[in-house]
Amino acid sequence: MTGSFSVSGNIVDVPNRKIYPGTVFVAAGKIAKIERSRERYATWIVPGLVDAHVHVESSMLPPSEFARIATVHGTVATVSDPHEIANVLGMEGVEYMIVDGKRVPFKFSFSAPSCVPASHFETSGAVLGTEEIGRLLDRDEIRYLGEMMNFPGVLHGDPSVMEKIEGARRRGKVVDGHAPGLRGPDLEAYVRAGITTNHESLSREEAVEDMDRGMFLQIRHGSAASLFEECLSLLGTRSPSCMLCSDDKHPHDLVKGHINEMVARALRAGIDVMDILTAATVNPVRHYGLDVGLLRPGDDADFLEVDLFHGFKILTTRVRGVLAAENGSPRIPRQPVRPVNRFACGTKRPGDFVVPAGRGLLRVIRAVEGQVFTGRTAMEPSLENGAALSDVGRDLLKIAVVNRYGESPPALGFVHGFGLREGAIASSVAHDSHNIVAVGTTDGALCRAVNLLVESRGGIAAVTGTGGEAVLPLPVGGLMSDRPYDDVAGGYLTLDRMARDMGSTLSAPFMTLSFMCLTVIPRLKLSDRGLFDGDRFTFTGLFDGDAREEAPGADKP
């Protein structure tokens, strides 16, 4: 809590869509009163920004460190699904996020992760069943059921899926959605089940249909996926149904900006400030029942001083009256980080990455710039000594996924779109189960990149064709660092540049890499259990001419 003080400026009353000069009086962390004046001010006072859907883990920072840089950009609260660390550590991971987040002046609202594992088509480190989800939902601080990625389970009435949804609704808690590509009757059934939001719309048309069906559209601008430009005009025409979110923001991007970037870009596009701030503040606060102030007497003193005439420049950020950031620097002290992890696999040999030749064309994953979904294509294999090899001339690269929770052979496939001409890159940030995923030009480079992560018990790594290498260790679940945010951003940027120097033309190669295993998103993915057809929700063979199309041990959809 803080003592009494006052701040003067142009008050932006977003709920009532008014702007007037005045003074905000704060006492004990609350807004005691707001008085109008006749003064002229050069700054504006606005409610603090809210990220309506984010996985904090994707910043590679634990919550306490995430808060230090997020408040610099005017974010005072997040609607945070701890789905990533829950897939690694289960209830222990969720508790870790809650406890760490409480150590700083920031308002993290964590969910009960609905899909741990996200699907049964990959190996995860934990399982959260209906009993565990119920215990989380019973906690007052857990305000919603995290994104329901198992949309086939919803559409087919899977009992465990429906029990989680009904459990949230009985407790008066909302259910977040995840519905890429759902249209028509399937979308209607998904919404009818009680799901209220979607951040995975694949097009503007799909986003409009989501809103027409009664869902909130969470307009995403993340490191690898963004529909912001395509949906920008909806902020002006459909603002009561919109929120702003990052979903996945890697550290070097988070250092540059957060929700404030979206606000500034929308202002430059001519969208009314009230429509923008409604999506960035009022809508998530009301929808999720967040204890975040909206600049009204009696509210928590969660507000910003900004310069609207200079690109929505954040001057100060206050959370419950505490000065959290000022003039581009955090005022929140850094907290010591306690590493927790689950990593049980050993090092690999180059021979583990050999793909025996099969019959017919290769089924090849096609990485899509700026998207979490993938395409699919068929390509002639490059064969040598009875094995299928990477072919950099055609941008046909080998991809491997290694189970990090136990010993098993790597799952192998091929991918087009990464553009590497040499070396390999690897990451243990691999949605959703966070096994090790690597893409490379040779089996030796693949093996070395994977082993760097095995040796550091998680992180991201790059290996050049001449033997140069670098690794950013992530000792918190193989997902987050124990270093300050600027160190993490610098380490990430070094690796990102290495990937580009090796030929990648992707805007975010490591973020794109992290989605190659995401079996709940179409169309073709690779899990630690094999190549997965996201359209048919089943495993498939690597070569289209092999007699057995479905991989051994595959689950039925």
Cis bond upstream, residue 432 (ω within 30): yes
Confidence of residue 548 (pLDDT cuts 50, 70, 90): very low
**What mean pLDDT is predicted for residues 66-78?**
98
How many angstroms separate the CA atoms of 536 and 393, rounded? 31
User: Which domains does the chain carry?
Assistant: 52-295 (3.20.20.140), 350-539 (no CATH)
pLDDT at 74 over 70: yes
How many angstroms separate the CA atoms of 448 and 551, rounded? 27
**What mean pLDDT is predicted for residues 484-494?**
97
Portion of the chain with pLDDT greater than 90, in percent: 88
Q: What is the mean pLDDT of the chain?
A: 94
**What mean pLDDT is predicted for residues 507-525?**
90
pLDDT digits (tens, 9 = 90+) for 389-420: 999 999 999 999 999 999 999 999 999 999 99
Let me know the angle formed at the C-alpha of 320 by 315 and 322, rounded to the nearest 5 degrees.
55
pLDDT digits (tens, 9 = 90+) for 9-66: 999 999 999 999 999 999 999 999 999 999 999 999 999 999 999 999 999 999 999 9
pLDDT at 362 over 80: yes
Read off φ and ψ for residue 496, nearest 5 degrees.
Answer: -60, -40
Q: 163: buried, middle or exposed (CB in 10 Å: 19+, 13-18, 0-12)?
A: middle
**3-state percent helix, strand, coil for the chain, nearest multiple of 5:** 30, 30, 40
Confidence of residue 555 (pLDDT cuts 50, 70, 90): very low
pLDDT digits (tens, 9 = 90+) for 432-465: 899 999 999 999 999 999 999 999 999 999 999 9
Confidence of residue 131 (pLDDT cuts 50, 70, 90): very high
The encoded tokens of residue 197 equal 């939001």
Confidence of residue 372 (pLDDT cuts 50, 70, 90): confident
Can you give the C-alpha Rg of the chain in angstroms? 24
- pLDDT value for 547: 54
Confidence of residue 202 (pLDDT cuts 50, 70, 90): confident
Can you list the alpha helix ranges (DSSP code H) found in 196-299?
Answer: 204-212, 228-231, 234-237, 251-256, 259-268, 273-277, 283-288
Lowest mean pLDDT among 46-55, 87-96, 128-137, 306-315: 306-315
pLDDT at 551 over 70: no
- Partners of 31 in beta bridges: 26
How many angstroms separate the CA atoms of 83 and 111, rounded? 8
- pLDDT value for 520: 80
- pLDDT value for 224: 66
How many angstroms separate the CA atoms of 242 and 236, rounded? 10
The encoded tokens of residue 127 equal 């399982």
| Residues 452 and 440: beta-carbon distance below 8 Å | no
How many angstroms separate the CA atoms of 273 and 266, rounded? 8
The encoded tokens of residue 505 equal 């033309």
Confidence of residue 308 (pLDDT cuts 50, 70, 90): confident
Q: DSSP of 385-422, one letter per residue? A: TTEEE-BGGGTEEEEEEE-SSS--PPEEEEEES---SS
